[in-house]
Amino acid sequence: MIKAIKSFRGGIKPGHHKVTAELETVKMPLPSKVVIPMLQHIGAPCMPLVKKGDRVLVGQKIGDSEQMIAAPVHSSVSGTVTDVRPVLYSTGVEVMAVEIKPDGLQEVHESVAPPVYTDKEGLLRSIRESGLVGLGGAGFPTCVKLSPPPGKVLDVLVINGAECEPYITSDYREMMENPEGIVEGTKRVMEITGVAKAFIAIEENKPLAIESISSLIKDGDNIEVVSLATRYPQGGEKQLIYTVTGRRVPVGKLPADVGVLAQNVATVAFIANYLKTGMPLIKKKVTIDGGAAANPMNVEVLIGTPLKEVFEFCGGFCEEPRKIIMGGPMMGVAQYSLDNSVLKQTNALLAFNENQAVETKESVCIRCGKCVAACPMSLMPLYINANVMRGNFEETMKYHVNDCMECGCCSYVCPASRHLVQSMRQAKAELRKLAARKQGGKN
């Protein structure tokens, strides 16, 4: 094990709240229905390949897209398609979804078999067929990431086991329950991409995970476990790459531009399993926690399971939940309804009680500079916020608002409870509109 060579700027140290860390993952039984949206990745939405009344099987592809940046979707159950209809995401986007009533047989589709490939292209194609997206939360299609644009040479692989968001322990459970899979997957990815050196980076507050993974690595594997300082957002891709390799990903560029490929631990573990079994991405480890959750725990859930049923399986609520968050408390999305489904990149579901959910009132900015000190991207959130309040969206560009990764550190520290991240998003959206209008004007 080695230590990270650099330390990123800014960041915060929120409490860990990782009470579910040592609770073994429990498999959730079949839900009464699954609703599987056609867009669970960054990129183009898939088109449904099934219609109402069709019988589908486990692992059967039910949605795909012709587009390059997309990941197909598969049925997580065997049963009958009861509906194909649009659903509304909590981000405000409407997407088509396939609703399936399980028949309880969990009959596996014939396409599910260890992938056969003769060359790298074939291998990448089968990874695309698995429906895999980055499981760390962003949901970028993995096969796209594994094939860097021509001319870019990858030489380092960084496996992200930081899990820096409070509450979430699903990656930690993966590291504890399936360390072989992670090491195996790391080696597979090294083979696929031809990268000679890999680092598995884990925050130092997870010593057992560091130990269990280190013990599986042999000399000559060219894999190194790196222990990271425990600080949020240590798992942010650019921060992670910088602390582990010392390379800065330039603004507006991708890790591939500095020769780095970053993958989440759960993502590589999936690759290892997929290459052995051919079972596409149909289930997820999810941490259930928050003040209103009766039994905080880790569950293995089928993708498409309604949130309501997940919480019911975990003992329901001990208090009235006021906020349901998909993901961590720093970057997760508040859900407007418990009818929403578990998605591919869902790693946690938090039910916050009244106390945790209620926001403090905004007061005037006292110019304390805490947001500036906390920003890992070196921005000046207070000035972006002030310009947004005045409607000066173009001015926010001078303050590099587009470099904001919406990590939430600024809002977290602000003593005046300014809605800083919200104004970052607003500024970015307005700038996009402005740019579109300028484009339109030219034509």
Rg (CA), the chain: 22
- Residue 253 engages other proteins in binding (rule: CB under 8 A): yes
Among positions 84-123, residues that touch other proteins (CB under 8 A) are 90
Q: Which tokens belong to 309?
A: 């049923």
Q: Give the count of beta carbons closer than 10 Å to the beta carbon of residue 32.
A: 10
Binding string to other proteins for residues 323 to 362, with x set by CB under 8 A, is what?
A: xxx---xxxxxxxxxx-----------x-x---xxxxx--
Closest CA to 339 of 23, 37, 24, 25: 37
With CB cut-offs between 5 and 8 Å by kind, which of other proteins, ligand SF4, none does residue 252 bind? Answer: other proteins
Q: Which amino acid is at 333?
A: V
The site that binds other proteins (CB under 8 A) totals a number of residues, namely 75
Amino acid letter, 433: K
Picked from other proteins, ligand SF4, none, the partner binding residue 331 (CB below 5 to 8 A depending on kind) is: other proteins
Q: Which stretch binds other proteins (CB under 8 A): 44-52, 194-202, 244-252, 294-302?
A: 244-252
Residue 256's φ and ψ, nearest 5 degrees, are -60, -25
Residues of span 370-399 touching ligand SF4 by CB under 6 A: 370-371, 374-377, 379, 381-382, 385
Contact set for ligand SF4, span 403-432 (CB under 6 A) = 404-410, 413-416, 418, 420-421, 424
Strand 47-48 to strand 61-64: parallel, antiparallel, or no bridges (unpaired)? antiparallel
CA distance 162 to 184: 19
The stretches of 66-178 forming alpha helices (DSSP H) are 120-129, 142-146, 170-177
Q: Strand, coil or helix: what is 428? A: helix
272 or 414: whose CB is closer to ligand SF4? 414
Q: Identity (one letter) of the amino acid at 12?
A: I
CB of 236 to ligand SF4, least distance (A): 9
Q: Smallest gap, in angstroms, from Cβ of residue 393 to other proteins?
A: 12
* Amino acid (one-letter) located at 219: D
**238 lines the binding site for other proteins (CB under 8 A):** yes
Q: What 3-state class would DSSP assign to 261?
A: strand
Phi then psi for residue 212, to 5 deg, are -65, -35
Query: Which does residue 313 bind out of ligand SF4, other proteins, none, counting CB within 5 to 8 angstroms by kind?
Result: none
Q: For residues 54 and 88, give the distance between their C-alpha atoms in angstroms, rounded to a whole number.
A: 23
Lookup: tokens for 152: 């870019």
| Residue 406 in contact with other proteins, rule: CB under 8 A | yes
* Dihedral angle, C-alpha 296, 280, 57, 43, nearest 10 °: 90
Selected from 6, 109, 120, 425, the binder of other proteins by CB under 8 A is: 425
The option from ligand SF4, other proteins, none interacting with 418 (CB < 5 to 8 A, set by class) reads ligand SF4
As a whole number of angstroms, the distance between CA 48 and CA 90 comes to 21
- CB 402 → ligand SF4: shortest distance, Å? 10
When the beta carbons of 349 and 377 are compared against ligand SF4, the nearer one is 377
Nearer to ligand SF4, 249 or 279 (CB): 249
Question: Closest CB to ligand SF4 among 33 and 238?
Answer: 238
Sign of CA dihedral 173, 177, 178, 182: positive
The answer for residues whose C-beta is within 8 angstroms of residue 22's C-beta and 6 or more apart is none
Site string for other proteins, 160-199 (x = CB under 8 A): ------x---------------------------------
C-beta separation of 198 from 262 below 8 A: no
User: By C-beta, is 198 or 421 nearer to ligand SF4?
Assistant: 421
Alpha-carbon torsion (40, 290, 231, 385), positive or negative: positive
Distance CA 66, CA 71 (A): 10
The residue among 157 and 420 lying less far from ligand SF4, judged by its C-beta, is: 420
Whose Cβ is closer to ligand SF4: residue 109's or residue 425's? 425
CB of 37 to other proteins, least distance (A): 19
Q: How many residues bind ligand SF4 (CB under 6 A)?
A: 30
Q: How far is the CB of 205 from ligand SF4 (least distance, A)?
A: 21
> Which residue, among 283, 349, 357, has the nearest Cα to 310 in the 3D structure?
349
- Between 289 and 308, how does the x/- string for binding to other proteins read (CB under 8 A)? -------------------x
Q: Which residues bind ligand SF4 (CB under 6 A)?
A: 365-371, 374-377, 379, 381-382, 385, 404-410, 413-416, 418, 420-421, 424
